[in-house]
Amino acid sequence: MTDALVWHRLQFAFTIVFHYLFPQLTMGLAALIALMKITAAVTKDERWAAAARFWIRVFAVNFAFGVVTGIPMEMQFGTNWSRFTGFAGAVIGHSLGMESLFAFFLESVFLGMLVFGEKKLGPRRHLAVSLLLWLGTWASGFFIVTVNAFMQHPRGHVVRADGTLAMGDFVAYMTNPWALAELAHVLSASLVTASFVVSSVGAYYTLLGRHREHAPLFLRIGVRVGVAASLLVAFPTGDHQAKLVAEHQPVALAAMEGRFETERAAGITLIGQPNVRARRLDNPVVVPAMLSFLAYGTFHSDVRGLAEFPERDWPTNIELLYYSFHLMAGIGTIQIALMAAAAAFELRRRLDRARPLLWALLLAAPLPYIATTAGWLTAELGRQPWLIFGVFRTADGASPRVHSGDALFTLIGFAGIYAVLALLFVVLVGRIVGRGPSAEAEEASHG
């Protein structure tokens, strides 16, 4: 049984990490496409319309991959986590049901109109469709974040006589403060991903000297949104998220920082290795008092260490949690620096000649994906050993009757299938990028 739990967890972790590579671009790109179309409508500049059309082609492929990798996620609530579903389905089912009805239908029906309907609909209605799709993707993000927020910080439920959960206060559940903070952080991060991807393609064309009409537009919108979103993801959204963790999950904060002892005016660790066996952080490089300030707003607050909490409530993998958090924060800092530098050149119209910076933008596309993945690992590993924080343990949530061999079998199956999907995604998007945003490419893609 214990070893089945490992496979259940690993399968969910693997499939959700792979899945989320796609929606993070979908959500951000939906906003950027709408922005491009609005710019096209305002400036009457045909190049912006062509830019939007190019990114709609990428969006469509990315969206399809998000859908096919999303279906397994919905199913796993029942297949692999049946006791969790039995325990909390009456609460989280509200979010999952609403996500299908309010977001998935909207997205799946209007995507076709966005991709194929521009001529038929005309520019105004096509712009409206792009706004609807933006709304749909962000609504989908909101609904699923309410599920995660409930797992992090349960609100709105009541406990039944048999110990399982029922919906108590629907409004409190939907307006969980954790959900609103998390949504802001997640949406900013999705804008970071999309703006890095758009800038990367812009930098690629510029370095190659191809598509000189459209590449500067990609760089302009990518870098401008990129610098704003990179800042937003850190402050105020990331900062706010961290303060919520400090307030409601102090044990998770202690583990994220590899902090075993309580300390007043605690410093923040830039580098170091948690040594759980010896209960200390090896080789730390610390900025004094910063953690107290970031977590609680004053330099002299206490930051509690792991020693203050019973060991059975410690996150189950402190090392991975520590590295994930520091990786996220580190990459987040690099993202701000890179986008700020690029924006400084872009605003003076000198970015197209700054080849080292263009190279950096070209190669930086994976960074937000890594940071986002590390961020989710931080959130979900920090939640352990709870499936619903403080209420329901992860070990109690798995399906009792699913054999470890079955869980391992499907995990390996997903590994194989997703390897093929990853390859296909690269081929499909590579073709679109190779053809570029010119008019001939549009002909070819509809031919």
Partner 1 sequence: MADLWFALVCLMLTAFVVLDGFDFGAGTLLYALARTDDEKRAVHAAIGPYWDGNEVWLLAAGGSLMVSFPTALAAGLSGFYLGIFLLVWLLIGRAMSIELRAHLPHPLFSSLFDFGFTASSAGAALVLGVALANVVRGVPLDEGGFTLPLFASAAGGAEVGLLDAFTVPAGAFAVLVCATHGAAFVAWKTSGAVRDRARRLVPRLVVATAVGWAAMLALTARFAPAAFAAFTHRPLALGLAALGALALALVRRESSAAAEAAAATADRRAFLASAAFVALVLGAIFGSQFPYWLRPPASSPPSTAAITVASAQVEASSLRTALMWWMVGASLAVSYFVALFRANRRRREDA
- Report the interface residues with partner 1, using CB under 8 A: 61, 64, 67-69, 71-72, 74-75, 77-80, 82-83, 85-86, 88-90, 92-94, 96-102, 104-106, 108-113, 117, 120, 166-167, 170, 399-403, 406, 409-410, 413, 417, 421, 424, 427-428, 431, 447
Nearby residues of 211 by Cβ (< 8 Å), 6 or more positions away: 205, 436, 437, 438
Residue 269's SS3 state is strand
Helix (H) or strand (E) holding 166: strand 165-167
Tokens 């989908």 label which residue? Answer: 140
Question: Could you tell me if 379 and 152 are in contact, meaning their C-beta atoms sit under 8 angstroms apart?
Answer: yes
How near is the Cβ of 217 to partner 1 at its closest, in Å? 24
Neighbours of 88 (CB within 10 A): 26
**Among candidate residues 418, 296, 424, 292, the one with its CA nearest the CA of residue 14:** 418
Query: Which is nearer to partner 1, 91 or 351 (by Cβ)?
Result: 91
Question: For the chain, what is the radius of gyration of the CA atoms?
Answer: 23
CA distance 222 to 198: 5
Question: Which CB, 132 or 364, lies closer to partner 1?
Answer: 132
Q: Which is nearer to partner 1, 265 or 391 (CB)?
A: 391
Q: What's the Cα-to-Cα distance from 179 to each of 17, 24, 244, 305, rounded to whole Å?
A: 20, 17, 11, 26
Minimum distance from residue 410 beta carbon to partner 1 (Å): 5
Q: Cβ neighbours of residue 115 under 8 Å, at least 6 residues apart?
A: 56, 57, 60
Which residue number, 103 or 245, has a Cβ lying nearer to partner 1? 103
CA–CA dist 129, 109 (Å, integer): 10
Residue closer to partner 1 by CB (options 17, 228) is 17
CB of 336: closest distance to partner 1 in angstroms? 36
250, 223 in Cβ contact below 8 A? no
State in angstroms the smallest separation of the CB of 424 from partner 1: 7
Which amino acid appears at position 360 of this protein? A
- Minimum Å gap between C-beta 442 and partner 1 is 14
Q: What is the pairing mode between strands 157-159 and 302-303?
A: unpaired
Q: Which is nearer to partner 1, 11 or 195 (by Cβ)?
A: 11
Half-sphere exposure of 169 (CA within 13 A, CB side): 8
Task: Output the smallest distance, CB 139 to partner 1, in A.
Answer: 11
DSSP 3-state of 289:
coil
At closest approach, how far in Å is the CB of 22 from partner 1? 13
Would you say the C-alpha torsion 55, 56, 60, 66 has a positive or negative sign? positive
- Which is nearer to partner 1, 166 or 307 (by Cβ)? 166
**Please, which residue, 167 or 228, has the CB nearer to partner 1?**
167
CB of 315 to partner 1, least distance (A): 26
Q: Report the residue number, 170 or 359, with the smaller CB distance to partner 1.
A: 170
Minimum distance of partner 1 from residue 366's CB (angstroms): 23
Please give the DSSP secondary-structure letter assigned to residue 394: G
**Residue 86 or 330 having the CB closest to partner 1:** 86
Q: Least Å distance between CB 114 and partner 1?
A: 12
Q: Are 186 and 328 in contact (CB under 8 A)?
A: no
